[in-house]
Amino acid sequence: MAQPALALVANFAHATRLEAVRVAVLARDPLTRAGLTSIAGAFDDLDVVEELQPDERLASRVRVLAPDALLCDADVAANLNDLDAPAVVLLSDPVRAAEALAAGARGLLMRNASPRRIHAALHAVAEGLMVVDEELSRAVLHAVRPPAEMAEPLTNRELEVMQLLAAGLTNKEIASRLGISDHTVKFHVNAILGKLGVETRTEAVVHAARLGIVVL
């Protein structure tokens, strides 16, 4: 009986071993890029495919590289919704947490996060999960205004978009899922923000959850 039990344990360990995550590092400052590359490169199951800087070729470079995840400094977190990869953003100021989520971040950690936490966050976002440091989650919730009654209900299509926003999908992913254009998604998102009386995607998700429109 001992041999089958040992074989079962070995098979389970093999099945649960983390697969390598292809990571692209994104930051303005070359020293910061080098530092983030060093952190990610220290793990055998993180494969740094390239260091990137924010320029007019960024979106196309990300599409070509097709990384499983982005590791980003906070100074490049403005247009993550335009990139076809989930991003972990390192913040120095919790006040910017809601802003980074609204810009499309899938993971939020403090800049002084340990390499193990960064490693875990990259694997999580690559698997379609969202990761928010506890300290930053409090900052996000604090930034959201108390719920109020909606002046006008969401349409069926807006409800679909709202559900996908709550799931953390980018505009491009929502467009692909619903078979509509990016421009149409942006139109629906703007309509949702207006009806909910909020200014950011993050506020929309939290506000909609409080109103019972979505379940997080």
pLDDT tens sequence across 97-128: 877 877 788 899 998 999 999 999 999 999 88
Start-to-end CA distance of the chain, whole Å, equals 45
What confidence category does residue 56 fall into, taking pLDDT thresholds of 50, 70 and 90? confident
Clarify whether residues 42 and 83 are in a common domain. yes
Clarify whether residues 106 and 42 are in a common domain. yes
For the cut 50, the answer to whether the pLDDT of residue 10 exceeds it is no
Backbone φ and ψ of 107, nearest 5° = -135, 140
Clarify whether residues 91 and 151 are in a common domain. no
Looking at residue 13, its pLDDT comes to 40
Alpha helix stretches (DSSP H) within 42-76: 58-65
Clarify whether residues 109 and 157 are in a common domain. no
Residue 2 lies in a domain: no
Clarify whether residues 116 and 173 are in a common domain. no
Domain boundary among 142, 157, 187: 142
Residue 9 lies in a domain: no
CATH of the domain at 27: 3.40.50.2300
Domain boundary among 142, 166, 184: 142
Tokens read off for 184: 């149409």
Looking at residue 187, its pLDDT comes to 93
Domain count, the chain: 2
Clarify whether residues 52 and 137 are in a common domain. yes
User: Against a cut of 0.85, is the pTM above it?
Assistant: no
Residue 4 lies in a domain: no
pLDDT tens sequence across 147-206: 556 768 899 999 999 989 888 888 899 999 999 999 999 999 999 998 888 888 878 887
Q: Which amino acid is at 97?
A: A
Q: Which of 110, 111, 134, 106 is nearest to 122 (CA)?
A: 106
What confidence category does residue 9 fall into, taking pLDDT thresholds of 50, 70 and 90? very low
For the cut 90, the answer to whether the pLDDT of residue 14 exceeds it is no
What confidence category does residue 27 fall into, taking pLDDT thresholds of 50, 70 and 90? very high
* Residue-range definition of the domain harbouring residue 181: 146-210
Clarify whether residues 31 and 110 are in a common domain. yes
Q: In what order do the strands lie in the sheet with 107-110?
A: 46-52, 21-26, 69-73, 87-91, 107-110, 131-132
CATH of the domain at 189: 1.10.10.10
Q: Please state, as a whole number, how many other Cβ atoms lie within 10 Å of the Cβ of residue 164.
A: 20
- Residue 104 falls in which region: left (phi positive, over 0), alpha (psi -120 to 50) or beta: left
Q: What is the mean pLDDT of the chain?
A: 82
When mean pLDDT is compared across 8-17, 126-135, 157-166, the lowest value belongs to 8-17
